[in-house]
Structure 1
Amino acid sequence: MSAISRRKALIIGASRGLGLVLANELVRRGWQVIATTRQGGGELQANADAWHGRLAVEFLEMTSPEQLDALRERLEGNDCRLDLLFVNAAIDRGDLPIHEVSTDMFTEVMTTNALSPLRALETLRGLVAPGGTVAVMSSDQGSISRNTEPGYELYKASKAALNQLMRSYATRHADDGHTKLLIDPGHNQTQLGGPGAPLIPQESIPNVVDVIEAQTGAPGLQFLDRHGESVPW
């Protein structure tokens, strides 16, 4: 078995859309992949069955610290060492101006899109091998300098918060030897992106994986698009 075929990844949030395509693309490239979902069955489990052990499914509600701890304990019990920890999670509750957003909606979106991904990284980072990569699916919607058109104020704010928290994470763990990435995959046809988006995950995700593999070992934190170009903060 080659060194490449032994690479191992954990994808948080892979039941559908970008996360599902990402898990499958990594397996196609010889990675051993663990992918999480909140519920059993579905396309992820069907793909896991088809890959004959190269794609394993774990159950996780990412917003639950207790479930994150339990996942870490299960993986530690299996002596799991990761080359890639990738967190893919986002929700959108519609295109409302911020003064029409309820406190509950604000809390839900910020918890899912910003707080929980960083909790996941902090809980699971100890599983990442020296020289490994921690990455989060972000969006150019979180770029403050590119926020020049109206709409989706809460979603944009949550992604900007995610980026800022990832910057703090990278500062706090500057000497851990991990590559740290925020990835903008572009506007894709997913449940979140809608059917009218210009991209499909089957086209954009291979580019994302190219970027991940090319950046292995790179120092510091980078905010990159699917072509490996820097996204302005």
Structure 2
Amino acid sequence: MTDRTTDKSALVFGASRGLGLALVAEYLDRGWRVTATARGTARTGLHDLADSSGGRLTVEEVDITVPEQVAALRERVGDQAFDLVFVNAAITLGNLPVGEVSTESFTKVMITNALSPMRVVEAFQDVVPPTGTIGVMSSRQGSVSFNTNGGHEIYRASKSALNQLMRSFAARHADDPRTLLLMCPGWVRTGLGGPDALLSIDESIPLVVDTIEKQAGHGGLQYLDRNGQALPW
């Protein structure tokens, strides 16, 4: 961890492992203060990171699929302000054609990947100042235009739904000066991405953070890859 310090702060949801944990580590390395969430009470890499953060990382227990836990954190946050609120949440329950997917699996993926992140955005939007950023981790697979090969149908659908819901949020807040981002990190070797993914976490997350920082203060909604390139909806 570097000695860089800044007065900037981030609130990151879904940070116990994988991309979320890497996001927190990157922001700490850049001198930010971070509040980050993990599900459950088990110790994770996020807690280890907090121990070495010099007090710059606070860990909160939140399952974003449980509205009461989201509301409880919002109450604990109080009047704190964050330059960035970022929601990282995604599951996949296999690569099946839609006709073979159970209602239970479909519902679980949609609630986790689309509905719950937007509930967080709605609940925490007011902790972000006019110059701040609200971001959500999306995916290239959320692009309808890019879907020429099929596969992973429910995961794709959930990310498309997330994109559409974020676009509706932006439309309802058309005069809001804050920056809204749907970020695509690329196909990354994580528990979700699998061992055959093209990118390591270190090849993805620093570029994601670079892009988020470059967009700060620009306002409006964008759907971007890690290099800052716009993706087709």
Please classify the TM superposition score into its range, dividing by the shorter chain length: over 0.9
Question: What is the alpha-carbon distance in structure 2 between the residues aligned to residue 99 and residue 203 of structure 1?
Answer: 36
Alignment of 1:63-142 (within 5 A): 63-76=65-78, 79-142=79-142
- 1:158 alignment counterpart: 158
Once the 2 structures are TM-superposed, how far is the Cα of residue 150 of structure 1 from its aligned partner? Answer: 2.4
Aligned match of 1:196: 196
Aligned residues: 229
Letter in 2 for 1:19: G
Where structure 2 has 5 or more consecutive residues not aligned to the other structure, the ranges are: none
1:120, 1:29 → 2: CA distance?
25
Deviation at 1:220, TM superposition (A): 1.2
Amino acid at match of 2:121: L
* SS at structure 1 position matched to 2:158: helix
Q: Deviation of residue 39 (structure 1)? A: 2.4
Name the counterpart of 1:176. 176
Match of 2:232 in 1: 232
Q: Which residue number in structure 1 is paired with residue 52 of structure 2?
A: 50
CA shift for structure 1 position 176: 2.3
**Matching of residue 148 in structure 1 with residue 148 in structure 2:** yes
Structure 2 distance, partners of 1:93, 1:69, is 27
Partner of 1:7: 8
Equivalent residue of 2:151, what SS? Answer: coil
1:218 Cα deviation (Å)? 1.1
Query: Larger deviation: 175-184 or 12-21?
Result: 175-184
1:165-208 CA distance string (max 9 Å, x none)? 00000111122221000000000001100011010112210000
SS at match of 1:82: coil
Instruction: State how far apart, in whole Å, the 2-side matches of 1:177 and 1:31 are.
Output: 22
**Contact kept in structure 1, 2:176 and 2:219, CA below 8 Å:** no
Name the structure 1 match of 2:62: 60
Q: Percent identity?
A: 57
Deviations 1:38-80 (A, max 9, x none): 023121100100112111100101011111111011011xx31
**3-state DSSP of counterpart to 2:129:** strand
2:83 match: secondary structure: strand
Structure 2 counterpart of 1:204, which letter? S
Secondary structure at the aligned position of 1:232 is classed as: coil
SS in 1 for 2:36: strand
TM-score, length of structure 1 as denominator length: 0.96
CA distance in 1, matches of 2:150, 2:229: 24
Separation in 2, partners of 1:131, 1:138: 22
Give me the whole-angstrom Cα distance separating, in 1, the residues matched to 2:55 and 2:175. 34
Gaps of at least 5 residues in structure 1 are: none
Q: Over residues 98-151 of structure 1, what are the superposed CA-to-partner deviations in whole Å (9 max), with x where a residue is unaligned? A: 000111111100000000000000011111112100000000000000000021
TM-score normalised by the chain length of structure 2? 0.96
